[in-house]
C-alpha cells in the first residue's frame, strides 16, 4: 500500500513538472535572443536541447517559480524535466497520438493562442508610445482623480430610532442619549461607553470607531446632520446629542486628514499604465476591424 502511494506521489510530481515545462515549450521566436547560446546540453533521440532552449524556457516561467531554477541544482532539475518532455513527446508522435482528432485539435488551439499572442505583441503592443505630453495632459484633464478629500476618523454612540419609530420610543432613546452624554462629560471612557450602550452594530464592538471617511460617505448611514456636526468638531471634541432620521447620536472627532493632491511626478507611473492600456485597447480594436475587412466574417443563420 505504501509503495503504491509513493509511486502515485512520484507520478503526480513528474506529471506536474512536465506540465509546467510543457506550457513553456512552444516558445515564440522573439523569446530566443539573436545570437543565443547554441551549445548542445543533451541529445534525446533525434532532438537536441541547447543552452538557448533552456534559457528560453526558464525566462517563460512565472517569477515565483523561476527562482527555483536559477541555481546549478535547479537548472539541472529543469533540464531533466525538459528531457522528460522530449522523451514523452517523441514517443507520443511515434504512436501517432499527435494525429488523433481530439489531440490534434488541442494542439492547433494551443498553437493558435501562441500565434495570436505573438501577433498582438508584434503588430500592436510594440508600437504603443506614451509621451510625457500625454501624461501631463491626462493629469490636467483628470485632476480630481488625484485628489484625496479631507477625511476624519470619529467615534460614535448611536441610539436607533428610525423614521417609523413611535413617539414614546424616540423620547426614550433621546433620554438615553442625553444621560450618556452626561456620563461622557464627567469623564467616562468613550470607547467603554460605546461598547456598553451603542446600538450601532458597525462600530459598537470597536468602541464606536468609524475609521476614516470623507464627506458624504456616512450620510446614508447616519444622516447629513451627523456628518455636518462631525466635520465641524475640533480634534478630541465631543458633540451634543444629534438627532437624524436614523436616531440619536453622540460623536467625537478623533483625527483629521487634510485634503491632499497627488503630484504629477508621483502619479506619472499610474497614468502611464492607464494610457498604455487605453492605447493598446484602442489599437487592438482598430486592428481587429482591419482584419475583418481583409478576411470577411459571415455568420451562418
In this prediction, residue 2 carries a pLDDT of 53
Q: Which of 87, 108, 86 is nearest to 99 (CA)?
A: 108
Do 154 and 252 belong together in one domain? yes
Clarify whether residues 96 and 181 are in a common domain.
no
26 part of a folded domain: yes
pLDDT of residue 290: 94
Q: Is residue 299 domain-resident?
A: no
Residues 96 and 163 in one domain: no
Q: What is the mean pLDDT of residues 19-24?
A: 48
Give tens-digit pLDDT for 75-112: 899 889 889 999 999 999 999 999 999 999 999 999 99
| 172 and 244 belong to one structural domain | yes
Comparing 263 with 64, which gets the higher pLDDT?
263
The last residue of a domain, from among 100, 132, 159: 100
Task: Indicate whether 179 and 238 sit together in one domain.
Answer: yes
Residue 108, in any domain of the structure: no
Q: Is residue 28 part of a domain?
A: yes
Range of the domain at 71: 2-100
Final residue of a domain: which of 37, 65, 100?
100
**Distance set, CA 5 to CA 2, 13, 19, 81, 199 (Å):** 5, 12, 21, 22, 57
The structure's pTM equals 0.55
Same domain, 254 and 165: yes
pLDDT above 50 for 60: yes
- pLDDT exceeds 70 at position 258: yes
Residues 15 and 79 in one domain: yes
Q: What is the mean pLDDT of the chain?
A: 88
Residues 190 and 254 grouped into a single domain: yes
Same structural domain for residues 161 and 94? no
User: Is residue 276 included in any domain, yes or no?
Assistant: no
pLDDT of 215 higher than 80: yes
Does 174 lie in the same domain as 81? no
Question: What Å distances lie between residue 88 and 6, 92, 104, 163, 292, CA to CA?
Answer: 22, 6, 16, 74, 40
pLDDT tens by residue, 132-187? 999 999 999 999 999 999 999 999 999 999 888 999 999 999 999 999 999 999 99
CB atoms within 10 A of CB 78: 22
Q: How many domains does the chain have?
A: 2
For residues 92 and 169, state if they share a domain.
no
Q: What is the CATH number of the domain that holds 253?
A: 3.10.50.40
Question: What digits encode the pLDDT tens for the residues 27-46?
Answer: 444 444 444 568 899 999 98
Domain membership of residue 15 (yes or no) is yes
- Do 168 and 77 fall into the same domain? no
Query: Is 285 a member of any domain?
Result: no
SS3 readout for the chain: CHHHHHHHHHHHHHHHHHHHHHCCCCCCHHHCCCCCCCCEEEEECCEEEEHHHHHHHHHHCCHHHHHHHCCHHHHHHHHHHHHHHHHHHHHHHHCCHHHCHHHHHHHHHHHHHHHHHHHHHHHCHHHCCCCHHHHHHHHHHCHHHHEECCEEEEEEEEEECCCCCCHHHHHHHHHHHHHHHHHHHCCCCHHHHHHHHCCCCCCHHHCCEEEEEECCCCHHHHCHHHHHHHHHCCCCCECCCEEECCEEEEEEEEEEECCEECCHHHHHHHHHHHHHHHHHHHHHHHHHHHHHHHCCCCCCC
The C-alpha atoms of residue 250 and residue 200 are separated, in whole angstroms, by 11
Q: Is residue 236 part of a domain?
A: yes
Amino acid at each position: 500500500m505504501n509503495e503504491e502511494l509513493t509511486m502515485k506521489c512520484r507520478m503526480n510530481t513528474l506529471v506536474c513538472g512536465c506540465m509546467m515545462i510543457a506550457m513553456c515549450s512552444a516558445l515564440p521566436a522573439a523569446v530566443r535572443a539573436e545570437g543565443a547560446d547554441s551549445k548542445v546540453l543533451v541529445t534525446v533521440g533525434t532532438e537536441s536541447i541547447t543552452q538557448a532552449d533552456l534559457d528560453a524556457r526558464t525566462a517563460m516561467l512565472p517569477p515565483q517559480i523561476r527562482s527555483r531554477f536559477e541555481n546549478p541544482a535547479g537548472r539541472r532539475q529543469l533540464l531533466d524535466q525538459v528531457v522528460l518532455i522530449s522523451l514523452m513527446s517523441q514517443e507520443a508522435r511515434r504512436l501517432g497520438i499527435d494525429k488523433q482528432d481530439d489531440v490534434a485539435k488541442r494542439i492547433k488551439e494551443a498553437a493558435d493562442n501562441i500565434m495570436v499572442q505573438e501577433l498582438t505583441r508584434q503588430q500592436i503592443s510594440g508600437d504603443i508610445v506614451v509621451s510625457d505630453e500625454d501624461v501631463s495632459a491626462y493629469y490636467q484633464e483628470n485632476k480630481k482623480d488625484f485628489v484625496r478629500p479631507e477625511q476624519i476618523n470619529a467615534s460614535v454612540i448611536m441610539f436607533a430610532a428610525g423614521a417609523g419609530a413611535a413617539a414614546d420610543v424616540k423620547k426614550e432613546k433621546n433620554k438615553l442619549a442625553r444621560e450618556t452624554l452626561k456620563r461622557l462629560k464627567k469623564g467616562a471612557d468613550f470607547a467603554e461607553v460605546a461598547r456598553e450602550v451603542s446600538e450601532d452594530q458597525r462600530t459598537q464592538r470597536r468602541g464606536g470607531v468609524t475609521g476614516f471617511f470623507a464627506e458624504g460617505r456616512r450620510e446614508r448611514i447616519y444622516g447629513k446632520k451627523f456628518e455636518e456636526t462631525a466635520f465641524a468638531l475640533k480634534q478630541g471634541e465631543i458633540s451634543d446629542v444629534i438627532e437624524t432620521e436614523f436616531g440619536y447620536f453622540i460623536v467625537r472627532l478623533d483625527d483629521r486628514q487634510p485634503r491632499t493632491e497627488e503630484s504629477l511626478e508621483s502619479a506619472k507611473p499610474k497614468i502611464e499604465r492607464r494610457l498604455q492600456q487605453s492605447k493598446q485597447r484602442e489599437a487592438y480594436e482598430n486592428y481587429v476591424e482591419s482584419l475583418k475587412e481583409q478576411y470577411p466574417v459571415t455568420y451562418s443563420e
